[in-house]
Amino acid sequence: MEWVEIDGSYGEGGGQILRTAVALSVITGKAVRIRNIRANRPNPGLRPQHLHGILALKELSNARVKGAQVGSTVLEFIPGKAEPKHIRVPIKTAGSVTLVLQALIPVMAFIGGSFEITGGTDVPWSPPVDYLKNVTLFALGKMGLKAELEIKRRGHYPKGGGLVVGKVEPWEERKPLVALAWKKVERFAGISHATNLPAHVAERQAKAAKERLKELYSVPVEIETEVSRSLGLGSGIVVWAETDSLRLAGDALGKRGKPAEVVGKEAAEELIEQLTPGKAVDKFLGDQLIPFLAFTGGEIGVAEITNHLVTNVWVVERFLGRIFEIEGEIGEPGVVRVVRKAEL
């Protein structure tokens, strides 16, 4: 059995190293040993949300695992034969549903499968579920990957209780992605939601975002509003630009004492910031595309080369050898190019 050794404190040093490493372990059939898990964080080791992703991949690939408990700083993952299944992930807290999906989707791309995940859909420090559905899956669709996702119920911090279901078709045709720059914004779209809160919260968020975008761009802005019930209170907004290339987005979450207008404007400002360099891919999507790009080839222009992106490239190359070339510095716009496509 071939082993890949990963230092979990490398680069960004967070949970993303785990998600990418364990997903690639399943895809390549190589065992992985990850040490120093989240060593530089205030509470090092595995957190519950990381554990859920690992256990889901264990089930999907009939793996043998050592060190899969909260607080563990070393994990050994030995994949078995992966087969399509319906995976249920019951996160009892507001642990992020989208971060679990960052581990599951790359693996399901190669075998197919469906999922049902409860937890946090719109929580700090992770992509909102509307971003994953409307921006990430849109880009993956251009790469030939068919995946569906439905938000049955929202889940906010601290109670969680969100429910997301979906499926991924086996990736039949892997299309190279060449997305360097956008030339034109065709329209803006978005979703502004309020859960266990008055409808006007969602409406005011949407209105503020729309007004800010209209100040700079004379194209249609269509932001849907959604009012729902769940375990706890929460609101948020994701706005994206439909360009002649991909979609770029900005988002913001509501919190007690923060006016809805501020939330809406914040999301619009973030989107404007991502559009400003003229690159086709926003800084959030850049690192998410890396594991997929390794298998399709192509090149992307990113609004910002982040630490997350560079770390994800490093993890992918521990499994697959040299794949990428990065042009540009961390914190600046740049280009990520596939110089050698991975073969399985």
| CATH of residue 142 | 3.65.10.20
Which H or E element spans position 7? strand 3-7
- Structurally, the chain folds into a number of domains equal to 2
**Beta strand 86-90 pairing with 113-119:** parallel
Decide if 287 is inside a domain.
no
Q: Which residue has 């992770």 as its token pair?
A: 126
d(CA 232, CA 197): 10
Decide if 239 is inside a domain.
yes
**Beta strand 31-35 pairing with 334-338:** unpaired
Q: Where are the alpha helices (DSSP H) in the chain?
A: 15-28, 48-61, 97-111, 129-131, 137-142, 199-216, 260-275, 283-296, 307-320
Decide if 39 is inside a domain.
no
Whether 268 and 203 map to the same domain: the answer is: yes
| Burial readout 282-309 (b: 16 or more C-beta within 10 A, e: otherwise) | bbbbbbbbbbbbbbbbbbbbbbbbbebb
Is 308 a catalytic site residue?
yes
pLDDT tens-digit series, residues 129-150 = 999 999 999 999 999 999 999 9
- In 3D, which of 24, 83, 75 has the Cα closest to residue 46? 75
d(CA 126, CA 129): 9
Q: pTM for this structure?
A: 0.97
**Does residue 1 register a pLDDT over 90?**
no
Rounded average pLDDT over 243-255: 98
Q: Which residue has the higher pLDDT, 50 or 273?
A: 273
Whether 110 and 192 map to the same domain: the answer is: no
Range of the domain at 94: 84-172
d(CA 54, CA 51): 5
Q: Is 16 annotated as a binding residue?
A: no
pLDDT for residue 48: 85
Q: Is 287 annotated as a binding residue?
A: yes
pLDDT for residue 41: 86
d(CA 281, CA 283): 7
Whether 159 and 211 map to the same domain: the answer is: no
From 214, 244, 275, the end of a domain falls on: 275
Of 50, 156, 193, 308, which is the active-site residue? 308
Q: Is 285 annotated as a binding residue?
A: yes
- Percent of the chain residues topping a pLDDT of 70: 100
Give me the amino acid identity at 58: K
Rounded average pLDDT over 169-195: 98
Under the banding of pLDDT at 50, 70 and 90, the label for residue 42 is confident
| Contacts for 287 with CB less than 8 Å, ≥ 6 apart | 16, 306, 308, 309, 311, 312
Q: Is 284 annotated as a binding residue?
A: yes
pLDDT tens-digit series, residues 68-114 = 999 999 999 999 999 999 999 999 899 999 999 999 999 999 999 99
Q: Dihedral of the CA atoms 77, 80, 83, 87 (nearest 10)? A: -40
Under the banding of pLDDT at 50, 70 and 90, the label for residue 272 is very high
Rounded average pLDDT over 252-257: 97
